[in-house]
């Protein structure tokens, strides 16, 4: 979304990729997409937890407001999480991809297989209740920290998907990546038709008949569904060909999570201050808005703030105040008042003015839509990823998208599964 006066568009969808994401970086390089650092300030990350200001998840002092156990006091949230990982998988920091596959196939913790533990369940066996709460609050996310299959989660966070790794963003916005890919596809003779909502499908003599909500119908020899798991479930309910036992088994191995973003923009970045204000790009908090990102240049130039970024269970209070708003609509007054009040708590040195404008996004306002996906405990992701490429060998239906990938919640996961489908199709 382009806002008058701002140097760069605000991102209502994905807003960055990590430099560790080799597929995204390869696409960006090959297609000549100009990028810039996501964090243009490079200052220290900031946190506000239990009324205490700190310097993010790596700051041992950030947990001063928690009644931590003796062996947790004076340690950062990042240290407490890593210590838990290493207690469960002692070689976690040195395992390669093959080693992680072995760990998921045979690893155990206490009386259960490693893959049967969720992140939250496991951490509770190691950390005190307050230590666990501190760790969850300090990272700012609900979805990846609570239900994530620990057999996948430890590898995920230790091998290149930690949001704190260096990030970049296309100068013209993240949609530059799919737009450039679509343009290359069309240049090679492909056809793209947008605005077609798939309603039903049926299998006839090896051909898949597709019927769209606008009445358009077509037969296909092969179908690739690059969709989130919530949309796949909806298709499975409407069309048996998408709801076979093989498909249903896949859909129960992951969970899709809602997410929200609220952007506000102002005539100037009032949040910067020589001593008390944030110097980096983000503040993480246990207040309902959870994460705040700052996007500004000059001291007196128009600037934007991602004033609330929530996911999973944390999205509920924000969605309730939004009253059904989404897709870049201005924030309703109730939501705006609540968030401005929390911003004043996070920035006590500043006078927080009324914004010039606002835009709210709720990934989940359509029940087929989510923010992102994580593996649930109880299944081995290595096996599921292989099955997801083509759930039924006798039916030419293939699945791509981040839902069944190692790079869940990132564009990298979507490209990873696209690679897998292309290899299966042998094209």
Q: What is the CATH number of the domain that holds 409?
A: 3.50.50.60
- Asked whether residue 173 is assigned to any structural domain, the reply reads no
Asked if 117 and 206 sit in the same domain, the reply is: no
> For the chain, which ranges sit under pLDDT 70?
162-164, 427
- Asked whether residue 288 is assigned to any structural domain, the reply reads yes
Asked if 130 and 93 sit in the same domain, the reply is: yes
Residues β-bridged to residue 224: 398
Asked if 53 and 152 sit in the same domain, the reply is: yes
Asked if 69 and 96 sit in the same domain, the reply is: yes
% of residues, the chain, pLDDT over 90:
91
- Domains identified in the chain, total number: 3
Asked if 375 and 252 sit in the same domain, the reply is: yes
- Asked whether residue 6 is assigned to any structural domain, the reply reads no
Asked if 126 and 226 sit in the same domain, the reply is: no
* DSSP single-letter state for residue 174: T
314 burial via Cβ count (<10 Å: 0-12, 13-18, 19+): buried
Q: What is the CATH number of the domain that holds 295?
A: 3.90.660.10
Tokens standing for residue 378: 């109880």
Q: What is the CATH number of the domain that holds 101?
A: 1.10.405
- Asked whether residue 182 is assigned to any structural domain, the reply reads no
Q: What is the CA radius of gyration of the chain?
A: 22
Predicted confidence at residue 168, as pLDDT, reads: 95
**Residues 372-410: tens digit of each pLDDT:** 999 999 999 999 999 999 999 889 999 999 999 999 999
Q: Exposure string (b/e) for 87-98, b if CB count within 10 Å is 16 or more?
A: ebbeebeebeee
**Residues 170-207: tens digit of each pLDDT:** 999 999 999 999 999 999 999 999 999 999 999 988 89
**Residues 346-371: tens digit of each pLDDT:** 999 999 999 999 999 999 999 999 99
Predicted confidence at residue 45, as pLDDT, reads: 93
Q: Report the first-to-last Cα separation within the chain, whole angstroms.
A: 36
Asked if 98 and 146 sit in the same domain, the reply is: yes
Work out the number of other CB atoms within 10 angstroms of the CB of residue 306. Answer: 20
Asked if 307 and 388 sit in the same domain, the reply is: no
Tokens standing for residue 249: 């088994």
- Asked whether residue 244 is assigned to any structural domain, the reply reads yes
Asked if 142 and 276 sit in the same domain, the reply is: no
Structural domain span for residue 309: 17-41+259-363
Asked if 82 and 50 sit in the same domain, the reply is: yes
Write the CB contacts of 211 (distance below 8 Å, at least 6 apart in sequence): 198, 199, 200, 201, 217
Q: Which of 348, 363, 378 is the last residue of a domain?
A: 363
Asked if 223 and 134 sit in the same domain, the reply is: no
- Asked whether residue 327 is assigned to any structural domain, the reply reads yes
Predicted confidence at residue 164, as pLDDT, reads: 65
Q: Exposure string (b/e) for 30-51, b if CB count within 10 Å is 16 or more?
A: eeebebeebbeeeeebbbbbbe
- Asked whether residue 164 is assigned to any structural domain, the reply reads no
Provide the 3-class DSSP secondary structure of residue 17: strand
**Calpha distance 273→295 (Å, rounded):** 15
Q: Which of 363, 388, 408 is the last residue of a domain?
A: 363
Tokens standing for residue 239: 């069309």
Angle of CA points 283, 287, 290, to nearest 5°:
50
Asked if 342 and 276 sit in the same domain, the reply is: yes
């Amino acid at each position: 979304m382009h806002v008058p006066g701002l140097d760069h568009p605000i991102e209502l969808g994905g807003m960055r990729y990590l430099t560790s994401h080799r597929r995204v970086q390869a696409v960006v390089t090959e297609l000549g997409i100009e990028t810039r650092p996501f964090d243009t300030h490079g200052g220290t990350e900031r946190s506000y937890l239990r009324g205490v200001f700190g310097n993010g998840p790596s700051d041992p002092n950030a947990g001063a407001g928690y009644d931590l156990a003796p062996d947790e006091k004076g340690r950062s949230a990042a240290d407490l999480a890593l210590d838990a990982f290493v207690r469960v998988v002692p070689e976690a920091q040195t395992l390669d991809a093959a080693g992680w596959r072995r760990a998921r196939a045979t690893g155990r913790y206490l009386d259960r297989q490693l893959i049967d533990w969720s992140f939250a369940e496991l951490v509770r066996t190691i950390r005190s209740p307050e230590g666990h709460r501190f760790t969850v609050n300090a990272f700012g996310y609900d979805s990846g920290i609570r239900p994530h299959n620990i057999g996948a989660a430890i590898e995920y966070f230790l091998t290149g998907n930690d949001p704190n790794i260096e990030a970049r963003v296309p100068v013209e916005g993240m949609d530059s990546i799919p737009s450039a890919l679509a343009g290359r596809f069309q240049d090679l003779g492909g056809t793209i038709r947008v605005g077609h909502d798939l309603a039903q499908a049926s299998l006839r003599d090896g051909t898949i008949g597709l019927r769209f909500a606008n009445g358009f119908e077509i037969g296909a020899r092969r179908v690739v569904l690059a969709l989130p798991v919530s949309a796949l479930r909806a298709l499975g309910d409407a069309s048996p060909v998408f709801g076979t036992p093989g498909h249903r088994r896949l859909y129960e191995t992951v969970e899709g999570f809602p997410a929200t973003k609220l952007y506000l923009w102002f005539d100037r970045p009032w949040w910067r201050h020589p001593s008390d204000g944030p110097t980096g790009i983000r503040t993480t908090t246990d207040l309902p808005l959870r994460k705040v990102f700052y996007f500004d240049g000059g001291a007196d130039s128009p600037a934007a703030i991602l004033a609330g970024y929530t996911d999973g269970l944390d999205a509920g209070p924000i969605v309730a105040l939004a009253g059904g708003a989404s897709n870049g609509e201005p924030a309703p007054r109730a939501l705006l008042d609540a968030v401005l009040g929390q911003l004043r708590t996070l920035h006590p040195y500043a006078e927080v003015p009324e914004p010039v404008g606002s835009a709210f996004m709720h990934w989940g306002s359509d029940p087929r839509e989510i923010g992102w996906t994580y593996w649930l405990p109880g299944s081995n992701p290595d096996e599921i990823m292989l099955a997801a490429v083509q759930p039924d060998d006798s039916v030419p239906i293939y699945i791509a998208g981040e839902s069944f990938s190692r790079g869940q919640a990132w564009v990298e996961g979507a490209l990873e599964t696209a690679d897998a489908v292309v290899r299966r199709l042998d094209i």
